Amino acid sequence: MNGPMIYADNAASTRLSPAAKAAMLPFLDEVCANPSAPHAMGRAAAAALANARAQMASALGCDAEEIFFNSGGTEADAQALRTAAHIGARQGKRHILSTAFEHHAVLHTLAQLQREGFDTELLPVPADGVVTAAQVASAIRPDTSLVSVMFANNEIGTVQPVAEIGAVCRAAGVLFHTDAAQAAGQLPIDVRAQQIDLLSLSAHKFHGPKGAGALYARKGLRPAPLLAGGGQECGARPGTENLPGIVGMAAALTEAAAHLDETAAALTKKRDRLIAGLAAIPQAVLNGDAGRRLPGNVNFSFAGVEGEALLLLLDARGICAAAGAACTAGSPDPSHVLLAIGRSPSLARSALRLTISAETTDAEIETILRAVRETVTQLRSAPGA
């Protein structure tokens, strides 16, 4: 890599915050004990674990015993869906409602549940990328056990009316799960006010470490363990706790929650500068609603431009961006999210996702704008384009 890199792929992963790193260091070094050990160092580890749980609970508006630590968003999604599916099955309810543009951690778990005899249904996503509470209300059936709608989409950044959907579900006696992997750190979360029963988090999406996550499960909803083993996390998640990861995650979420409004305001300004600049490129189409989207998310399709080629040229100029989700990068299939909002396969293949963080500077925004403008022009004028 020649020259400085510009990182605009924060939806895929973020840089560890200095506060999270500092909080983790003692647990990567001198505090090596297992939190289950009864000796003094074990008790210190257990105290740190309890403190991290209390910090997470305070950031989400719940009680500490409603937080279950795990390895990340994928595990939290799988456990949330399986927990609710089994609770429903015990009451003879086997219908699970979700949406067509969920993360694959949700969609592929739903596909497994379907093969296991559950009746899963995916709501279509309106063209603006925002599912409505009315859609959810009219699709709930007497045998619906669970509604799972993501808090904010990871590709197009659109923010869902979570509190309204929570109210619809609560009134209907249906459990509500939301995948908040993208929302945490950028949007206010209050699981009580928003009437959320199950919520998934991933630390590395909000400047915490990779490989750490959490499931919030409302009191009374005992998460069904995915593995068998020890009694950690009240038996919901056996295995020695990832204490450095957990402590780092709690520090990152606490820090993000303390600065939520300023961060969102600063990011929104930069995001809207990017959107305005990219919208001026001929035949550029913004994917997802312009206003109801994450403060850090920009996603455009450029008609006639191959997204993969655009990414390669931007990469050569030191700009780290994405076409869509990191886990489907390199796949020839167009994004299921962009198809869900009605984009043609060719427009879906011409997408560019730029996701910024508080660390993105105004100068970097201008460099990105210039690079995308020049690269799109270059690709469109190439022979055969």
Name the residues annotated as catalytic.
327
* Distance, CA of 180 to CA of 77 (rounded, Å): 10
Q: Does 20 bind ligand PLP (CB under 6 A)?
A: no
Question: Other CB atoms closer than 10 Å to residue 121's CB: what's the count?
Answer: 14
DSSP state for residue 235 in the 8-state scheme:
G
Interface map 99-138 toward ligand PLP (x if CB under 6 A): ----x-x---------------------------------
- Return the sign of the alpha-carbon dihedral for residues 103, 125, 157, 354: positive
Checking DSSP bridges between strand 6-7 and strand 319-320, what pairing results, if any?
Answer: parallel
CA 10 to CA 185: how far, in whole Å? 12
> Please, which residue, 7 or 302, has the CB nearer to ligand PLP?
7
Contact status: 16 vs ligand PLP (CB under 6 A): no
Helix (H, G, I), strand (E, B) or coil at 148: strand
Nearest-10 Cα torsion for 197, 203, 206, 207: 160
Distance CA 94, CA 188 (A): 32
**By C-beta, is 278 or 294 nearer to ligand PLP?**
294
Let me know how long the chain is: 385
Using the Cα atoms of residue 56, residue 57, residue 60 and residue 66 in order, give the sign of their dihedral.
positive
The answer to whether residue 355 forms part of the interface with ligand PLP (CB under 6 A) is no
Residue with Cβ nearer ligand PLP (267 or 369)? 267
Among 202, 242, 297, 335, binds ligand PLP (CB under 6 A): 202
Region 74-103 residues binding ligand PLP, contact defined as CB under 6 A: 74, 77, 103
- With binding defined as CB under 6 A, does residue 299 bind ligand PLP? no
Radius of gyration of the chain (CA): 21
Q: DSSP characters for 212-231?
A: -EEEEE-TT-PPPPSS-S--
Using the rule CB under 6 A, which residue among 56, 122, 150, 189 binds ligand PLP? 150
DSSP code for 43: H
- Please state the closest distance from residue 40 (CB atom) to ligand PLP, in A: 33
As measured in angstroms, the least distance from the Cβ of 38 to ligand PLP is 32
Residue 182 contacts ligand PLP per CB under 6 A: yes
In contact, 206 and 65? CB cutoff 8 Å = no
Candidate ranges 66-74, 252-260, 298-306, 341-349; the one touching ligand PLP (CB under 6 A): 66-74
Q: Which is nearer to ligand PLP, 105 or 246 (CB)?
A: 105
Angle at the Cα of 360 from the Cα atoms of 359 and 364, rounded to 5 degrees: 145
Shortest distance (Å) from residue 105 CB to ligand PLP: 5
If the CB atoms of residues 129 and 213 are measured against ligand PLP, the closer one turns out to be: 213
Work out which of 179, 197, 241, 364 binds ligand PLP, going by CB under 6 A. 179
Q: Strand ranges (DSSP E) for the chain?
A: 6-7, 67-70, 95-99, 119-123, 144-148, 175-179, 198-202, 213-217, 284-286, 297-302, 319-320, 351-355
Asked if 73 is part of the footprint of ligand PLP (rule: CB under 6 A), the reply reads yes
* Stretch of 41-49, 179-187, 228-236, 330-338 contacting ligand PLP, by CB under 6 A: 179-187
Residue 77 or 364 with smaller CB distance to ligand PLP: 77
**In whole angstroms, how close is the CB of 303 to ligand PLP at the nearest point?**
27
Q: Which of 97, 113, 136, 181 binds ligand PLP (CB under 6 A)?
A: 181
The distance of closest approach from Cβ of residue 383 to ligand PLP in the complex, given in angstroms and rounded to an integer, is 38
Coil, strand or helix at 365: helix
The reply on whether position 9 binds ligand PLP by CB under 6 A is: no
**Is 237 near ligand PLP (CB under 6 A)?**
no
Residues that bind ligand PLP (CB under 6 A): 72-74, 77, 103, 105, 150, 154, 179, 181-182, 202, 205, 213
